[in-house]
C-alpha cells in the first residue's frame, strides 16, 4: 500500500491517494481542492480510481469532488448523516443529488487488493467517519496530532470524546492520517493528546 498526501486548498486539507501497488487501483480520500493536482498525480502514476471516500461533509474536504469524480467515473462514498437532498441547503453538509453512496459503521469496501473498513466517529460532524486500511487510520477532522476537530460546525464535544475513546481502544498501534497537518501514530496520541486522554478519563473534560 502506498499513501500519497496532497495538502490542497487554502485550508491545506490533506487529500490522500491510497494505492495498491500490485493492481494500480487507488482510492481518493477527501478531494478538498486543486483537482488538477490530484488528477495529475493519478495520471502520472497510471492509477485507476476505484472509489472516492469523504470522511465528512464539510466544504474543505470536497471542493474538488465533482471534477475528480467526473474525470475518473469513481463512485463517491459519504455517511448519509452529512448529506442533504432537495429543499433548502443545510449548513456544513453535502448536497446529494442521488449519485452519492452511503456507508456506515462496519462496512468494508474493496479497492484493488485494499480493504477500507468504515468506523463511525461522529462529533466533529455527526456523519464523520474514520477509514481503517491495514495499519492506517484516515481520521478526517476527528483526530489530529495533539488535537481534535472543532465542534461548532454541526458537531458535539461529548460525542467527539466518545469517538476518540473508540479510536484509542483499537488494539495495537496505527499510523494516523488526519484531515489537516502532519501525521501521527495512535500510540503517540494515546500518550500525549490532551483530548484523547480526557476521553480516556485521565483528565476532566471541559
Domain ranges of the chain: 2-199
Residue 52 contacts by C-beta under 8 Å, 6 or more apart in sequence? 27, 28, 29, 31, 65, 68, 69, 72, 74, 75, 76, 77
List phi, psi (to 5°) of 89.
Answer: -55, 145
- pLDDT at residue 206, rounded to an integer: 54
Show pLDDT as tens, one digit a residue, over the chain (206 residues).
999 999 999 999 999 999 999 999 999 999 999 999 999 999 999 999 999 999 999 999 999 999 999 999 999 999 999 999 987 888 899 999 899 999 999 999 999 999 999 999 999 999 999 999 999 999 999 999 999 999 999 999 999 999 999 999 999 999 999 999 999 999 999 999 999 999 999 876 55
- pLDDT at residue 203, rounded to an integer: 75
- pLDDT at residue 89, rounded to an integer: 84
- pLDDT at residue 205, rounded to an integer: 57
Residue 183 contacts by C-beta under 8 Å, 6 or more apart in sequence? 5, 145, 175, 176, 177
* Longest CA pairwise span in the chain (Å): 50
Query: Would the pTM of this model clear 0.85, i.e. be above it?
Result: yes
What is the sign of the dihedral through the CA atoms of 190, 193, 194 and 199? Answer: negative
- pLDDT at residue 91, rounded to an integer: 86
Q: Within its chain, how far is the Cα of 163 from the centroid?
A: 14
User: Strand 129-133 and strand 114-120: pairing?
Assistant: antiparallel
- pLDDT at residue 204, rounded to an integer: 66
CATH 3.60.15.10 fits 2-199, yes or no: yes
Q: What gap in Å lies between CA 151 and CA 160, rounded to an integer? A: 8
Q: What gap in Å lies between CA 10 and CA 184, rounded to an integer? A: 22
Amino acid at each position: 500500500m502506498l499513501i500519497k498526501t496532497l495538502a490542497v486548498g487554502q485550508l491545506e486539507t490533506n487529500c490522500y491517494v491510497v494505492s495498491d501497488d500490485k493492481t494500480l487501483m487507488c482510492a481518493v480520500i477527501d478531494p478538498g481542492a486543486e483537482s488538477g493536482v490530484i488528477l495529475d498525480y493519478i495520471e502520472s502514476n497510471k492509477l485507476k480510481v476505484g472509489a472516492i471516500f469523504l470522511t465528512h461533509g464539510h466544504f474543505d474536504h470536497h471542493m474538488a469532488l465533482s471534477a475528480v469524480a467526473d474525470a475518473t467515473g469513481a463512485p463517491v462514498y459519504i455517511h448519509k448523516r452529512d448529506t442533504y437532498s432537495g429543499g433548502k441547503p443545510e449548513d456544513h453538509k453535502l448536497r446529494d443529488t442521488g449519485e452519492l453512496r452511503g456507508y456506515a459503521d462496519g462496512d468494508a469496501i474493496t479497492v484493488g487488493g485494499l480493504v477500507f473498513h468504515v468506523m463511525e466517529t461522529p462529533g466533529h460532524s455527526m456523519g464523520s467517519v474514520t477509514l481503517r486500511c491495514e495499519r492506517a487510520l484516515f481520521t478526517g477532522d476527528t483526530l489530529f496530532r495533539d488535537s481534535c476537530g472543532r465542534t461548532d460546525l454541526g458537531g458535539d464535544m461529548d460525542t467527539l470524546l466518545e469517538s476518540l475513546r473508540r479510536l484509542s481502544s483499537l488494539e495495537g498501534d496505527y499510523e494516523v492520517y488526519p484531515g489537516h497537518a502532519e501525521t501521527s501514530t495512535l500510540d503517540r496520541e494515546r500518550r500525549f493528546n490532551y483530548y484523547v486522554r480526557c476521553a480516556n478519563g485521565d483528565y476532566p473534560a471541559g
